[in-house]
């Protein structure tokens, strides 16, 4: 599971309720039925999928540079 604090540690700006950005990457925030936040990733406004872990986000950061 990834948390807001993990995202901020990786240099993203922004936050609840709009989402986060860093360079070409945008993370939109969605609240699940269990009231946990989920994050949908976009690169250059193209949807690339759900970010479920810090590893997922680190891989996306490496692939989008």
Q: What are the domain boundaries of the chain?
A: 4-63
Average pLDDT for the chain = 91
Q: Tell me the Cα Rg of the chain.
A: 11
pLDDT at 17 exceeding the cut of 90 = no
pLDDT, mean of residues 14-42? 87
Bridge partners, 30 (sequence order): 38
pTM score: 0.88
Measured CA to CA, the distance from residue 8 to residue 47 in angstroms comes to 21
pLDDT, mean of residues 37-57? 94
The 3-class secondary structure across 5-33, one letter per residue, is: HHHHHCCCEEECCCEEEECCEEEEEEECC
pLDDT at 47 exceeding the cut of 90 = yes
């Amino acid at each position: 599971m990834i948390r807001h604090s993990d995202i901020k540690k990786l240099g993203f700006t922004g936050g609840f309720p709009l989402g986060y950005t860093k360079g070409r990457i945008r993370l939109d925030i969605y609240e699940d039925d269990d009231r946990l936040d989920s994050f949908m990733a976009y690169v250059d406004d193209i949807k690339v999928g759900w970010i479920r872990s810090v590893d997922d986000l680190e891989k996306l950061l490496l692939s989008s540079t």
